[in-house]
Amino acid sequence: MARRKGLLAQILDARKQAKKLEAQAEARRHRELIAEQRRQEAEAQREAKQAEAAAKKAEAQRLRQQVQAQRLTEQATAKAAREAAQRERAEERRQATEARTRVQEAASAKRQAADGEFAVKTAEAEFRTEAVSNTLAEYSALLRNRNRDTRNAALELSAALSHGGPTGLVERLQHALAQSRYPEGLTGRVAAHYDAASRELLIEYELPLQEAVPTVVAYRYTKAKGMTAAPRKDSEIRALYGDLLARLTLRTLAEAFDATSPDIVSAIVFNGYVSTKDKATGRAVRPLLISIGSERGRFAEIELDEPALDPVLCLRGHLNAIVSPHPYDLEAVQPVVSFDLSKYKFVDEMDVVAGMDSRTDLLTLSPGAFEHLIRRLFEARGMKSWVTQASKDDGVDGVAINNDPIVGGLCIIQAKRYSRIVGVEAVQALAGVMDHKRAAKGVLVTTSWVGKASRDFATANGRIVIIEGRELKYLLKEHLDLDVLIGLEKLPPGWQKSDID
């Protein structure tokens, strides 16, 4: 019995051991399965990352290829444009050559048909007449034949400004404008300056002299008189010259605006000069015939290709240009300028008018109060005005600015609160200060009067205005509603007591 129990125990132990081994085997298989799953998951993640990296690399390669293709396309387009322009110029030269050939062949045919000098001279007269007509036709087509390719230079000019500053911009602009083709005899020579702070471009243009306009209408050959020329009327020559200058101005402004972007150039100041000799002195002179300041938006309103456009009227009426009234006589004008008021030292404004009663005697005012009264008078007439400091003002009592583009400019004011005559030396000193300050006009205002020498000097100068006491009294009444007195002890010749009471 004891032996049976021992055998059963052994069997049970064996079964337990077998189950234990089987459990251990099952746990090992489970761990191996989990490890295999983790390995497969890691492998899958690695393959996913590799696939993602490959996709990104492929996308980057595609973008590089796209950029390269775009660059090649742009280069091809630019090359095609250059080739087209070259073909166009070649075609123009060919047509010009053919035209000259046809004219020459026609002249030769006429010579052969007539078999004599008469036919030759007649053909020559016709050829010269046609040349005159062609010159005027080319002048008339200046706006239509302007260089429209300057629009393609805007990006280049922006890059030139970024890398080379204003100098780089100007150099690239001059190069772009130099590509414009002009009729024979017109240079199109340009100098420029760029102010980055105001985004303003200044252009100096070399205008042609009146000799550029043909003085002959037509040529004719007769056996009796030989070759004769029908002269053009002076009035027509002057009109053609003014039209030519206006067309050159508008063309240059158009090409300059096209070549620059609005964020770089918002306005252009154009000054057109001619280089010649002063017949009175023989010295070289360079009078300014046209000066204009135009904002981009204002200029964009002009339809340059419209045949009905009158260039002269456009400059004067639409753009308010300062144009020489007699350009054929080389009568110069004042340039459009930006006034630098930093050179003057101004004092604080004083409200003199508020402290005056209706019958204030101007001679009782202090010099400073009188100067501020004159400042108020100029402001009432639509000008900006300041009173300068009493010391170190170079003889300037006040400064005023008239913004009118035709007759405006910087004005120097001298205020003389005198009870006796103002000597001619005061007017002469005013002229000197005007030249030193480069002022457009000078005004001497006095409570008294001036003599004949002062008036003659002002008339000869042409830019000095004298306001005497009785006129001052009238102006103060008209513009400031002040009925003032001027207590002069002695009346000047020709004045009445009512003039100053």
Considering the domain architecture, whether residues 381 and 268 belong to the same structural domain is answered as: no
Considering the domain architecture, whether residues 80 and 209 belong to the same structural domain is answered as: no
pLDDT of 302 strictly over 90: yes
pLDDT of 451 strictly over 90: yes
Per-residue pLDDT tens for 174-198? 888 888 889 988 888 888 888 887 7
Considering the domain architecture, whether residues 276 and 349 belong to the same structural domain is answered as: no
pLDDT of residue 198: 79
The residue with greater pLDDT, 335 or 396, is 335
Beta bridge partners of 89: none
Tokens encoding 9 = 């125990």
CATH of residue 486: 3.40.1350.10
Per-residue pLDDT tens for 305-315? 999 999 999 99
Least confident residue range of 294-303, 326-335, 413-422: 326-335
Residue labelled with tokens 């009173």: 387
Range list of β-strands (E), 276-377 = 276-277, 284-285, 288-295, 322-323
Residue 254 host element (H or E): helix 234-259
Helix axes 452-461, 424-437, angle to 10 degrees: 20
What share of the chain in percent tops pLDDT 90? 31
Least confident residue range of 142-146, 171-175, 188-192: 188-192
Residue labelled with tokens 């706006």: 143
Considering the domain architecture, whether residues 47 and 78 belong to the same structural domain is answered as: yes
Return the sign of the alpha-carbon dihedral for residues 336, 338, 343, 349. Answer: positive
Per-residue pLDDT tens for 223-267? 888 999 999 999 999 999 999 999 999 999 999 999 999 999 999
pLDDT of residue 401: 60
Residue type for position 218: A
Residue 334, domain member (yes or no): no
pLDDT of residue 257: 95
Residue 295, domain member (yes or no): yes
Residue 267 host element (H or E): strand 267-273
Considering the domain architecture, whether residues 91 and 239 belong to the same structural domain is answered as: no
Task: Output phi, psi for 223, to 5 deg.
Answer: -65, -30
Pair 249, 292: CB distance under 8 Å:
yes
Neighbours of 268 (CB within 10 A): 21
Task: Output phi, psi for 392, to 5 deg.
Answer: 55, 40
Per-residue pLDDT tens for 360-373? 888 888 887 888 88
pLDDT of 218 strictly over 60: yes
pLDDT of residue 340: 42
Return the sign of the alpha-carbon dihedral for residues 25, 30, 33, 35. Answer: negative
Long-range pairs, 125-132, Cβ under 8 A, ≥24: 125/218, 125/219, 125/220, 125/221, 125/227, 126/219, 127/103, 128/219, 129/218, 129/219, 130/103, 132/214, 132/216, 132/217, 132/218, 132/219
Considering the domain architecture, whether residues 176 and 319 belong to the same structural domain is answered as: yes
Residue 19, domain member (yes or no): no
pLDDT of 108 strictly over 50: yes
Work out the mean pLDDT of the chain and round it to a whole number. 84
pLDDT of residue 268: 92
Can you give the residue range of the structural domain that contains 413? Answer: 344-499
pLDDT of residue 115: 58
Residue 349, domain member (yes or no): yes
Tokens encoding 430 = 């005013």
Pair 147, 180: CB distance under 8 Å:
yes
Considering the domain architecture, whether residues 105 and 146 belong to the same structural domain is answered as: no
| Angle (CA) 488 494 496, round 5° | 55
State the total domains in the chain. 3
Considering the domain architecture, whether residues 187 and 296 belong to the same structural domain is answered as: yes
pLDDT of residue 468: 94
Considering the domain architecture, whether residues 137 and 227 belong to the same structural domain is answered as: yes
pLDDT of 349 strictly over 50: no
Residue 205, domain member (yes or no): yes
Average pLDDT over residues 293-302: 93
Residues contacting residue 237 through CB under 8 Å, at least 6 positions apart: 210, 213, 215, 328
Neighbours of 245 (CB within 10 A): 26
Return the sign of the alpha-carbon dihedral for residues 108, 113, 116, 122. Answer: negative
Residues contacting residue 303 through CB under 8 Å, at least 6 positions apart: 309
Pair 342, 273: CB distance under 8 Å:
no
The alpha helices in 115-153, defined as continuous H runs, are 117-140
Residue 192: DSSP 8-state? E
Residue 262, domain member (yes or no): yes
Helix axes 469-480, 367-380, angle to 10 degrees: 60
Average pLDDT over residues 340-347: 43
Per-residue pLDDT tens for 426-440? 888 888 888 777 777
Residue 316: DSSP 8-state? I
In whole angstroms, give the CA distance from residue 385 to residue 383. 6
Q: Is 66 helix (H, G, I), strand (E, B) or coil?
A: helix
pLDDT of 330 strictly over 70: yes
